[in-house]
Structure 1
Amino acid sequence: MTQNGIRFQGKIALITGGSSGMGLATAHRLVAEGARVIITGRDKQRLDAAVAQLGERAVGVVGDATQAGDLEELTRVVRERFGRLDVVFVNAGIGAFQPVSAVTEEEFDRVVGINFKAAFFTVQHVLPLVVDGGVILINASFALYRGAPNAALYSATKAAVQNLARTLASELAPRGIRVNSVSPGYVDTPAFRAEASAEAQAGAASLVALGRVGRSEDIAGAVAFLASDDAAYITGQDLLVDGGLTTVIPAAIV
């Protein structure tokens, strides 16, 4: 860590799905530590509001990561305005929970398209701009470690992106590019609040050893660590950021 704690001075970072939740919190963290940040999102109004929060060191690019044309436009903007990327956080994704019997082919294509296909082609498009020695991070999920009802499709896409990070770590190692994933547990984001009732949110907290669901800032801190030189010898790994949800039994229920 640098002496003054500004680990990303002069760095250029791209965060997909950066207009709210974990992506926006990570953008705030990297900007606070000196980075210039490009964030993406599909909703222009929300994206503009996020950029206004972040200030002059942030740029927003409206786009849908499932669309090749939008990824090409993102790549063009980054190339023309910054010329390179030091950090990429592939964060855009959705939750989708239903029994296997209820998953239509249309829903399968939608969820796989957003959570896996978009992640794959985002990396493919921006990779020529990533500097040697750069960092790529992908947002996965604790769900890839635990079987749960109604989560087969979602969990499979998160297992896919975790494996993508690991295999990219091998492929890009000759360029010194580190690739890791982060696997959040339950996190209090706008999407979590929209999908889970108050009772469900309280129930989720009771399963966590630390007694609370995570905050977006908790994930931002983990991403900032993996993106920094403090993690210079870490690649091909998945970092669980779940308050002990996956591996620790809460003392209250023993």
Structure 2
Amino acid sequence: MSRLADKVAIITGGARGMGASHARLFVKEGAKVLIADILEKEGQALAKELGDNARFIKLDVTNKENWEQAVAVTEDAFGPANVLVNNAGITMNKSIEEMTLEEYKRIVEINQVSVFLGMKAVIPSMKAANGGSIVNISSMNGLVGGAIGYTDTKFAVRGMTKAAALSLAHYGIRVNSVHPGVIETPMIVQEETKDAVKEFAKYIPNGRVAKPEEVSNLVLFLASDESSYSTGSEFVVDGGMTAR
């Protein structure tokens, strides 16, 4: 039996990288998926690849009205959403001395404010569905230090997850955070960060950078009813980095 039968999911940052990996696995396991991203060409191509159980919408995750539209499109196409994966995020390889206020605010808006907006927007839909699962993608840098801006917001996602889990438990809505380590995605192999990532990978206890699918398997578990008693918790997939 498909592990996500009868699930309707919204996945942000779903056009490529980890988000696309999540979308592919979700559809394979029986879910209907709204792929939400600012990358129209890639998102539309992925939705076409995945067939009738996938739709694409252009979503600015920092925009409240865009979120409301995304939920409405999901409900029109598939019914009430009962899974949300807040996957969209950015990083910047700059020190606190180099980073401008505008750059810092941009990271906060995309990595942190978007998670608040997404959770808030999907609550009525999940209530209509008699419950649901919200999976917030944080980072190992939501547990230990890292780049300024990125670390700050990923710690915030971890805290927001716990607060929302307590607030929404009586609706049957579960909220958990996932904390990936170094994953082979476009975000970390961009020109300004790829050398640092290559050097960092030498210190991973498992000896390698992870594939997106290795994170997707954990996200699948949290989206499914198999994790029905897990809420307000951190799930780490980092090759042993935070075990040091």
TM-score above 0.5, yes or no: yes
- In structure 2, the partner of 1:133 is 131
How far does the alpha carbon of each residue in 1:16-55 deviate from its partner, in whole angstroms, 9 at most, with x for none? 1100011110111111111111110112111111112222
Give the counterpart of 2:110 among 99, 114, 133: 114
State the distance in 1 between where 2:50 and 2:77 align. Answer: 18
After superposition, the CA RMSD in angstroms is 1.5
- The 3-state SS of whatever aligns with 1:203 is helix
Q: Does 1:158 align with 2:154?
A: yes
Cα gap change, 1:179/1:46 in structure 2, threshold over 3 Å: closer, same or farther? Answer: same
TM-score (norm 1): 0.90
State the distance in 1 between where 2:10 and 2:143 align. Answer: 27
Q: Does 1:19 align with 2:36?
A: no
- In structure 2, the partner of 1:243 is 239
How far does the alpha carbon of each residue in 1:147-201 deviate from its partner, in whole angstroms, 9 at most, with x for none? 23xx121100001111111111100011111110000000001121114666544
- The 3-state SS of whatever aligns with 1:219 is helix
Q: State the identity as a percent.
A: 36
State the distance in 2 between where 1:103 and 1:83 align. Answer: 43
- In structure 1, the partner of 2:217 is 221
State the distance in 2 between where 1:68 and 1:199 align. Answer: 36
State the distance in 1 between where 2:92 and 2:194 align. Answer: 19
Please say if residues 204 and 213 of structure 1, whose CA atoms lie closer than 8 Å, have aligned partners that are also in contact: no
Cα gap change, 1:80/1:189 in structure 2, threshold over 3 Å: closer, same or farther? Answer: same
TM-score (norm 2): 0.94
| Equivalent pairs, count | 242
- In structure 1, the partner of 2:169 is 173
Cα gap change, 1:72/1:212 in structure 2, threshold over 3 Å: closer, same or farther? Answer: same
Please say if residues 185 and 243 of structure 1, whose CA atoms lie closer than 8 Å, have aligned partners that are also in contact: yes
State the distance in 2 between where 1:154 and 1:94 align. Answer: 7
Cα gap change, 1:197/1:111 in structure 2, threshold over 3 Å: closer, same or farther? Answer: closer
- The 3-state SS of whatever aligns with 2:27 is helix
Cα gap change, 1:105/1:201 in structure 2, threshold over 3 Å: closer, same or farther? Answer: closer
Cα gap change, 1:201/1:101 in structure 2, threshold over 3 Å: closer, same or farther? Answer: closer
Give the counterpart of 2:74 among 74, 78, 82: 78
- In structure 2, the partner of 1:145 is 143
Alignment of 1:32-111 (within 5 A): 32-111=28-107
| AA aligned opposite 2:45 | A
State the distance in 2 between where 1:44 and 1:103 align. Answer: 29
The structure with the largest alpha-carbon Rg is: 1
Cα displacement (A) at 1:87: 0.8
Cα gap change, 1:12/1:198 in structure 2, threshold over 3 Å: closer, same or farther? Answer: closer
Give the counterpart of 2:228 among 219, 232, 235: 232
State the distance in 1 between where 2:88 and 2:109 align. Answer: 11
Q: Runs (4+) of structure 1 moved beyond 6 Å?
A: none
State the distance in 2 between where 1:38 and 1:91 align. Answer: 13
Gaps of 5+ in 1: 249-254
State the distance in 2 between where 1:136 and 1:94 align. Answer: 20
- The 3-state SS of whatever aligns with 2:3 is coil
